[in-house]
């Protein structure tokens, strides 16, 4: 799915004949049942979870009700002659048009303020030394006490899950703990002082990048949901608690989900306040570099008993991305971080560029990362 948009069910045609009253009655009964389930879900979210979780519960219950009512009211004739394009089909069409369908017009230097800040571009190489473990053409930075040899052995194991291609059931969930993170909008290497690089505009923040990723995966036959809840708005504090509740609700409604991707961007600055833009060139176009982050259990403050499975997933994705697009990735970061990665054995955080990158570089990177994921899972 491209966006979390509810659609009204179509009305049954008069030609349904004698079966129409029975279909309507069945539809009403099913609709009331789903509605009641939705009310329980919403009330539970409001009572026990943060506001974003309640908003997500509302969306999920409405989606179920609309889907159930549509299926119940639809006659065989309507099913056979359905002409209205589905949202997923629209997304797939846009994805097939290429990245140009998503890019925006960036500001030229006429918009540059006199006190503009400086952006510095840099292509970060793969790491080397005792902390780094080779991973195909890429690498893993081991910031844990786990021996390097143990990490190296673990990443040779197969993926801990298998996705179903062309399935009606969702396999992937893309969401954003820090959804309001955004990018620079200037074509030139400058930014406006005071710009905190955050926006509630979903066409400019992390939601825009997640949308490209979801469209790309769906177009390839990997059923993907994209949640655009602003988990860090209005308050940044508690954003991980918010996103955890959101993910748990999706997993409860769609137990078929194998992969949960928390899509962020980095923020790298020099001591003088210049912003760094991690960049690379892929197929003649400049893209933001990306970095996967995998948490590890430290036995005390960070409890991730299944972190090794997530690491296998990170390694497979890293190999695919860096092997296909040399220079595209920064080293995978393995550290004592939680990031709600206990919820599935396919949970990872991915940094798409940083606040020094422009939005178009990030959108292109999102598409490349999704293509790399497709390659890793096939």
Confidence tier at 267 by pLDDT (50, 70, 90): very high
What residue has token string 């955890």? 244
6-20, 88-102, 322-336: least confident range: 6-20
Q: Tell me the CA end-to-end span of the chain in Å, nearest whole number.
A: 20
Distance of CA 128 to the CA centre of its chain: 29
CA R_g for the chain? 22
How far is Cα 66 from Cα 244, in angstroms, rounded to an integer?
A: 25
What is the mean predicted confidence (pLDDT) over 278-285?
98
How far is Cα 22 from Cα 224, in angstroms, rounded to an integer?
A: 34
Confidence tier at 51 by pLDDT (50, 70, 90): low
Strand ranges inside the chain, DSSP E: 117-122, 132-135, 138-142, 172-175, 190-191, 224-226, 259-266, 275-282, 285-288, 290-295, 332-335, 347-354
What is the mean predicted confidence (pLDDT) over 61-81?
40
Does pLDDT of 33 surpass 60?
no
Percent of the chain residues topping a pLDDT of 90: 73
pLDDT at 197: 86
How far is Cα 134 from Cα 204, in angstroms, rounded to an integer?
A: 35
Confidence tier at 89 by pLDDT (50, 70, 90): low
Token code pair at residue 128: 């080397």
Contact 294, 348 (CB under 8 A): yes
pLDDT at 196: 79
Which of 350, 256, 223 minimizes the C-alpha distance to 295?
350
pLDDT at 107: 97
Does pLDDT of 360 surpass 90?
yes
Q: How confident is the prediction for the chain on average, in pLDDT?
A: 84
How far is Cα 19 from Cα 262, in angstroms, rounded to an integer?
A: 46
How far is Cα 213 from Cα 91, in angstroms, rounded to an integer?
A: 10
How is 38-69 classified by DSSP, letter by letter? HHHHHHHHHHHS-HHHHHHHHHHHHHHHHHHH
∠ CA 97-179-62 to the nearest 5 degrees? 80
Which of 245, 230, 340 minimizes the C-alpha distance to 49?
245
pLDDT tens profile 293-331 = 999 999 999 999 999 999 999 999 999 999 999 999 999
Does pLDDT of 348 surpass 90?
yes
What is the mean predicted confidence (pLDDT) over 173-193?
97
pLDDT tens profile 121-138 = 999 999 999 999 999 999
Confidence tier at 86 by pLDDT (50, 70, 90): low
How is 89-118 classified by DSSP, letter by letter? HHHHHHHHT-GGGT--PPB-GGG--TTPEE
How far is Cα 310 from Cα 308, in angstroms, rounded to an integer?
A: 5
Does pLDDT of 52 surpass 80?
no
Helices 307-324, 359-377: inter-axial angle, 10-degree rounding:
110
Q: Which residues pair with 349 in a beta bridge?
A: 262, 293
How far is Cα 188 from Cα 179, in angstroms, rounded to an integer?
A: 25
| CA quadruple 112, 115, 119, 120: dihedral sign | positive
How far is Cα 317 from Cα 323, in angstroms, rounded to an integer?
A: 10
pLDDT at 358: 97
Token code pair at residue 186: 């200037």
Between 318 and 6, residue with greater pLDDT = 318
Contact 335, 144 (CB under 8 A): yes
Contact 371, 290 (CB under 8 A): no
183-197, 198-212, 247-261: least confident range: 183-197
pLDDT at 194: 80
How far is Cα 74 from Cα 210, in angstroms, rounded to an integer?
A: 32
pLDDT at 246: 98
pLDDT at 36: 45
What is the mean predicted confidence (pLDDT) over 229-256?
97
Does pLDDT of 251 surpass 60?
yes
What residue has token string 């979780």? 53
What is the mean predicted confidence (pLDDT) over 270-274?
96
Contact 228, 180 (CB under 8 A): no
Pairing state of beta strands 290-295 and 347-354?
antiparallel
Confidence tier at 193 by pLDDT (50, 70, 90): confident
Does pLDDT of 145 surpass 50?
yes
Does pLDDT of 3 surpass 50?
no
pLDDT at 204: 97
List C-alpha distances in Å: 330 to 130, 136, 292, 338, 377.
17, 13, 8, 20, 20
- pTM of the complete model beyond 0.95: no
């Amino acid at each position: 799915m491209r966006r979390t948009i509810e659609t009204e069910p179509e009305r049954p045609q008069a030609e349904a004949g004698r079966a129409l009253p029975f279909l309507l009655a069945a539809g009403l009964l099913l609709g009331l049942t789903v509605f009641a389930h939705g009310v329980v879900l919403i009330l539970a979210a409001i009572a026990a979870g943060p506001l974003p979780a309640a908003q997500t519960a509302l969306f999920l219950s409405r989606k179920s009700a609309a889907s159930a009512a549509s299926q119940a009211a639809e006659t065989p004739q309507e099913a056979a002659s359905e002409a209205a394009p589905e949202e997923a089909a629209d997304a797939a069409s846009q994805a097939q048009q290429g990245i140009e369908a998503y890019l925006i017009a960036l500001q030229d230097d006429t918009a540059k303020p006199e006190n503009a800040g400086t952006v510095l571009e840099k292509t970060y190489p793969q790491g080397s030394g005792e902390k780094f473990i080779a991973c195909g053409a890429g690498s893993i930075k081991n910031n844990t006490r786990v021996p390097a040899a143990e990490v190296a052995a673990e990443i040779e194991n197969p993926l801990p899950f298998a996705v179903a291609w062309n399935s009606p059931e969702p396999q992937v969930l893309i969401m954003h703990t820090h959804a309001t993170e955004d990018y620079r909008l200037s074509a030139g290497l400058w930014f406006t002082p005071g710009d905190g690089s955050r926006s509630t505009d979903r066409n400019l923040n992390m939601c825009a990048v997640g949308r490209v990723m979801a469209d790309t995966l769906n177009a390839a036959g990997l059923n993907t949901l994209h949640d655009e809840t602003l988990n860090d708005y209005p308050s940044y504090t508690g954003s991980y608690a918010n996103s955890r509740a959101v993910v748990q609700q999706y997993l409860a409604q769609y137990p078929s989900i194998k992969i949960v991707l928390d899509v962020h961007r980095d923020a790298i600055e020099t001591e003088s306040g210049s912003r760094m833009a991690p960049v690379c060139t892929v197929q003649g176009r400049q893209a933001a570099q990306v970095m996967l982050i995998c948490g590890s259990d430290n036995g005390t403050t960070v409890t991730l008993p299944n972190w090794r499975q997530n690491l296998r997933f990170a390694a497979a994705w890293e190999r695919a991305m860096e092997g296909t697009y040399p220079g595209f990735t920064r080293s995978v970061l393995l550290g004592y971080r939680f990031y709600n990665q206990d919820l599935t054995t396919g949970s990872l955080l991915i940094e798409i560029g940083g606040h020094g990158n422009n939005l178009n570089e990030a959108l292109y990177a999102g598409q490349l990362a999704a293509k790399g994921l497709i390659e890793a899972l096939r």
